[in-house]
Amino acid sequence: MEYGPVIEFIRGHEKFILTVHETPDGDAIGSQYAMFRALKKLGKTVKCFNADPAPWKFNFVDEEGEIRVLEGQELLPAHLDEYVLIILDVNDTHNIGQIATLVLPKVREYFIIDHHDSEQDTTTGNLIEQSASSTCEILFQLFTEMKIPIDFPMARALFMGILFDTGSFIYPKTTALTFEIAHRLVSMGVSPNQIYASVFESNSIPSLVMMSKVMGTLELHFGNHVAIQTLTPKTILASQGKYEEADQFINLPLRSADIRVSIFFKENLEGIRRCSMRSKGNIDVASIAQGYGGGGHKTAAGFKCAQPFAAVQRELLEKLSIYFPGDKP
């Protein structure tokens, strides 16, 4: 991994804004908070702004509340032209929400640190390691290379990001290096049990009600190999759950040996529609998501839906038909 450009970028600037992708997940928040503390250790001025709030279950790593939602320009520091922007856990500047309009055009420079697949050449001048399990895995190696001491809050944040993005160390990009880094973080005092409980066992009772309603929408296609679920604003209101608590519902159908693709359509209370996809084996959902302006990994990807869900569903089933030539949709 080539660290020279990012080290030069960090050493060459004094004021930083850190951001991540829309609807932040565990790796996004973990990497953002760890980078925040790392830059502070170097004596830098650092602000953290995101387009959307993160699910509250990730916020335990940010006890000081340093990560804020950019709800308006008035929250930004004066003299933005003195700042640079580091974009974490996403390599598409169209997927950072209002940061793309309120911050990106006004800062001096920006730098991307990420591990997602992309059709575009985003590696030039950035730190993108597509084989890494997570952005937090990349940051651990970067901090080690720069000899930045990793304190307990940083270790906890990094472990959370790795745990989340590896699906508890089972996804395809989990490697021996991933386990080695996890071992070192645990040696620093991180409790795997506590992190797991916070991330995967802390949802509310209304979220269970919401999950049951979403499971009730389950459709099966291509000989029971493709599962589709839908979350609507009506379901959110009826269950009294939170939209953010639905982030793991997409994984439920994959517990079946027969399901090879899980598709989850979800619309929040503001009317923003998204589609998430997960797959097993050789089915490349990232290439499908990229066709809709999204992205991700081969087996985990997503995009915003500009069309109604029914229209997108028809298109997705058509695109997936090449993987199931003997089955009817």
Report the pLDDT value the prediction gives residue 297, as an integer from 0 to 100: 85
Q: Identify the CATH number of the domain in which residue 264 sits.
A: 3.10.310.30
Q: Does 328 fall in a domain?
A: no
Same domain, 63 and 39: yes
Q: Does 180 fall in a domain?
A: yes
Q: Does 329 fall in a domain?
A: no
Q: Is residue 156 within 8 Å of 31, Cβ to Cβ?
A: no
Report the pLDDT value the prediction gives residue 83, as an integer from 0 to 100: 98
Report the pLDDT value the prediction gives residue 328, as an integer from 0 to 100: 74
Same domain, 8 and 154: yes
CA 287 to chain centre: 17
Report the pLDDT value the prediction gives residue 120, as an integer from 0 to 100: 57
Question: Could you give the strand order of the β-sheet that contains 15-20, starting from the edge strand earlier in sequence?
Answer: 67-69, 45-50, 15-20, 84-88, 110-114, 127-128
> Considering its fold, how many domains does the chain have in total?
2
Same domain, 257 and 293: yes
| Cα-Cα-Cα-Cα dihedral sign, residues 140, 146, 3, 48 | positive
58: exposed, middle or buried (Cβ count in 10 Å: 0-12, 13-18, 19+): buried
Report the pLDDT value the prediction gives residue 119, as an integer from 0 to 100: 60
Report the pLDDT value the prediction gives residue 124, as an integer from 0 to 100: 60
Report the pLDDT value the prediction gives residue 296, as an integer from 0 to 100: 85
Q: Give the Cα separation of 152 and 63 in Å (integer).
A: 13
Same domain, 88 and 74: yes
Q: Does 280 fall in a domain?
A: yes
Q: Give the Cα separation of 161 and 235 in Å (integer).
A: 29
Same domain, 180 and 238: no
Same domain, 195 and 209: no
Q: Give the Cα separation of 114 and 93 in Å (integer).
A: 12
Same domain, 173 and 187: yes
pLDDT in tens, 46-103: 999 999 999 889 999 999 999 999 999 999 999 999 999 999 999 989 899 999 999 9
Same domain, 152 and 238: no
Task: Give the range of the structural domain holding residue 304, as residue numbers without chain letter.
Answer: 205-323
Report the pLDDT value the prediction gives residue 230, as an integer from 0 to 100: 98
Report the pLDDT value the prediction gives residue 326, as an integer from 0 to 100: 78
pLDDT in tens, 152-191: 999 999 999 999 999 999 999 999 999 999 999 999 999 9
Same domain, 163 and 185: yes
Which of 174, 200, 226 finishes a domain? Answer: 200
Q: Identify the CATH number of the domain in which residue 107 sits.
A: 3.90.1640.10
Same domain, 54 and 109: yes
Q: Give the Cα separation of 40 and 278 in Å (integer).
A: 37
| Residue ranges in the chain modelled with pLDDT below 50 | 123
Which of 181, 200, 219 finishes a domain? Answer: 200
Give pTM, 2 decimals. 0.89
Which of 148, 168, 200 finishes a domain? Answer: 200
